[in-house]
């Protein structure tokens, strides 16, 4: 049984979908899969939303093949759902109206690297780890790190960010241009390699964050950065969440160019200790990383240590050895899996909000108080340098009273963030799971979003049932 409500889908047009799948099978042969297992895997969601599988999966190899598949689906008014790595968290890859999933994971080539201009062009199915492995010997790297080894096309579609966002920005800052297949199957190119342009509407930014509802991204031109000469990182305990948040605010206000600054609450520290075999004190903890020259990262680390000490935090233990830094950050990235160990047999559901950093301490303290009053298990971790944090809810899906408490908690969390001048999602996106909060945040702006959707996808075949209800 579903433990959150998903907007009821309109009647399926099985006949049209069936004809589209038959034509696609004739065209793509074995690369148009119809098996129940493959379809279910492409509708699988990492949240508590029910799996809604497509009727078939097309494994595309080129932009031209994506275009051809979309044209066939458009002719038969068949929904099309793009699929990258399947790591999205709000039901983005579900097929609530049936249809065809287009899997772009085989489109994973690096097409061009322009080291002098600090950019590259890649296919949408390549993951961030694959790209950085390719770039390793060039002296360049791609910094956007959402934790999961997501595809770059999916990261652009959901406007991903992650641990490095406080210094390097999010996908909206990293994407220079796109190749996109529209609802009619037409291939368009947005943006370019120039660092600025005044030429018409910014179609690149329109597509970034559109979650596959306006077009299917097949290629990206991305901004790269030079690999830093030196990296230092470490951990710093604090007596309270408020003190840790005040240290974050002071660090940002003083202009210290921290690359990563992550908060783990005491419960999340306990989970990471158990899962990753660490021995950190189970108190509010900041994980930090600084990039630059050897002298610069020493100076930055020392400055942060002084800030932490003034707020009762510390000692700030930092290291430049890659092995130790990797061990710490691997523990941070494994926080989701570590959380499950706090309540074996539960379902882990991650949700996120983002607020101005001046309201971060208030929002976190109110949220932790709410968790305690609800009697639920929910550790917190956050990209607190930009006011974004995640709550990992551990749910007994057989306990209906607990489900109701958690659903009410999630609603209060989203409203709390919006009331504080923030957003119902800093990086997970809307998908199916957060549609009900979008109008609370944007009001009449949702009607404008729907108007854009209807103009670019008049038959509603591109990832329907996501972002705007009733599209």
Do 379 and 315 lie in one domain? The reply is no
Do 399 and 353 lie in one domain? The reply is yes
Do 132 and 218 lie in one domain? The reply is yes
Alpha-carbon separation of residue 153 from 12, 197, 236, 328, 396 (angstroms)? 28, 23, 35, 28, 34
- What is the per-residue pLDDT for 47? 72
CATH number of the domain residue 396 falls in: 3.30.70.2740
Query: 70 in a domain, yes or no?
Result: yes
Do 120 and 218 lie in one domain? The reply is yes
172/320 Cα distance (integer angstroms): 30
Other C-beta atoms closer than 10 Å to the C-beta of 275 total 18
Do 27 and 71 lie in one domain? The reply is yes
Other C-beta atoms closer than 10 Å to the C-beta of 385 total 25
99/102 Cα distance (integer angstroms): 10
Do 114 and 100 lie in one domain? The reply is no
176/161 Cα distance (integer angstroms): 16
Other C-beta atoms closer than 10 Å to the C-beta of 314 total 17
Do 269 and 326 lie in one domain? The reply is yes
Range of the domain at 39: 18-105
Which residue has tokens 């990206």? Answer: 220
Do 91 and 49 lie in one domain? The reply is yes
Query: 29 in a domain, yes or no?
Result: yes
* DSSP code for 346: P
**Mean pLDDT, 10 residues at a time, the chain of 471 residues:** 44 78 97 97 82 96 98 97 93 95 98 97 97 96 92 96 92 97 98 91 97 98 96 93 95 92 96 93 95 91 94 87 81 89 91 95 96 95 92 91 92 97 94 92 94 96 88 42
Structure tokens at 190: 């947005």
Instruction: List the alpha helices (DSSP H) in 277-359.
Output: 294-310, 322-333, 335-340
Cβ distance 224 to 135 under 8 Å? yes
- Does this model's pTM top 0.95? no
CATH number of the domain residue 156 falls in: 3.30.465.10
Query: 452 in a domain, yes or no?
Result: no
- What is the per-residue pLDDT for 336? 87
- What is the per-residue pLDDT for 327? 82
Domain end call among 295, 319, 337: 337
- What is the per-residue pLDDT for 11? 54
Cβ distance 176 to 189 under 8 Å? no
- What is the per-residue pLDDT for 9? 47
Question: What is the maximum alpha-carbon separation in the chain?
Answer: 69
Q: Helix (H, G, I), strand (E, B), or coil: what is residue 255?
A: coil
Judged on CB neighbours under 10 Å (0-12, 13-18, 19+), 384 is: buried
- What is the per-residue pLDDT for 122? 98
* DSSP code for 231: E
CATH number of the domain residue 330 falls in: 3.30.70.2190
- What is the per-residue pLDDT for 14? 63
Do 327 and 276 lie in one domain? The reply is yes
Domain end call among 193, 226, 259: 226
Domain end call among 226, 258, 275: 226
Cis ω for the linkage preceding 132 (within 30 of 0): no
**Strands 258-264, 110-114: parallel, antiparallel or unpaired by DSSP?**
unpaired
Query: 468 in a domain, yes or no?
Result: no
């Amino acid at each position: 049984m579903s433990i959150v409500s998903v907007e009821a889908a309109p009647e399926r047009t099985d006949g049209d979908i069936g004809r589209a799948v038959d034509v696609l099978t004739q065209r793509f042969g074995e690369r148009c899969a119809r098996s129940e297992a493959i379809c279910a895997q492409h509708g699988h969601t990492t949240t508590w939303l029910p799996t809604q599988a497509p009727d078939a999966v097309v494994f595309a190899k080129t932009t031209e093949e994506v275009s051809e598949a979309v044209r066939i689906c458009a002719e038969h008014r068949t929904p099309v759902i793009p699929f990258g790595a399947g790591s999205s968290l709000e039901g983005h890859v579900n097929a609530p109206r049936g249809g065809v999933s287009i899997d772009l994971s085989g489109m994973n080539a690096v097409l061009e690297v322009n080291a002098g201009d600090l950019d590259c062009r890649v296919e949408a199915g390549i993951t961030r780890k694959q790209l950085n492995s390719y770039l390793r010997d060039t002296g360049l790297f791609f910094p956007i790190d959402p934790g999961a080894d997501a595809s770059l096309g999916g990261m652009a579609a959901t406007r991903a960010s992650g641990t490095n966002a406080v210094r390097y920005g999010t996908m909206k800052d990293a994407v220079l241009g796109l190749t996109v297949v529209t609802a009619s199957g037409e291939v368009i190119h947005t943006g370019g390699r120039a660092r600025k342009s005044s030429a018409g509407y910014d179609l690149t930014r329109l597509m970034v964050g559109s979650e596959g509802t306006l077009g299917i991204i097949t290629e990206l031109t991305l901004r790269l950065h030079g690999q830093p000469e030196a990296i230092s990182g470490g951990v710093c305990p604090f007596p309270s969440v408020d003190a840790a948040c005040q240290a974050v605010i002071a660090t940002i206000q003083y202009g210290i160019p921290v690359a990563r600054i992550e908060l783990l609450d005491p419960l999340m520290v306990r989970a990471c200790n158990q899962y990753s075999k660490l021995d950190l004190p189970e108190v509010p903890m900041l994980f930090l990383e600084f990039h630059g020259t050897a002298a610069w990262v020493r100076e930055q680390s020392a400055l942060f240590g002084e800030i932490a000490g003034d707020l009762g935090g510390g000692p700030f233990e930092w290291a430049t050895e890659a092995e130790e830094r990797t061990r710490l950050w691997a523990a941070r990235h494994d926080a989701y899996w570590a959380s499950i160990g706090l309540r074996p047999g539960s379902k882990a559901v991650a949700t996120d909000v983002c607020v101005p950093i001046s309201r971060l301490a208030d929002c976190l303290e109110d949220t932790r108080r709410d968790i305690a009053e609800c009697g639920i298990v929910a550790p917190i971790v956050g990209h607190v340098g930009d006011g974004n944090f995640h709550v990992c809810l551990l749910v007994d899906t057989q306990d209906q009273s607990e489900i109701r408490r958690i659903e009410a908690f999630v609603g209060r969390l989203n409203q709390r963030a919006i009331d504080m001048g923030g957003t119902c999602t800093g990086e997970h996106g809307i998908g199916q799971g957060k549609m009900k909060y979008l109008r609370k945040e944007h009001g009449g702006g949702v009607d404008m979003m729907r108007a854009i959707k209807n103009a670019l996808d008049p038959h509603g075949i591109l990832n329907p049932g996501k972002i705007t209800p009733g599209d």
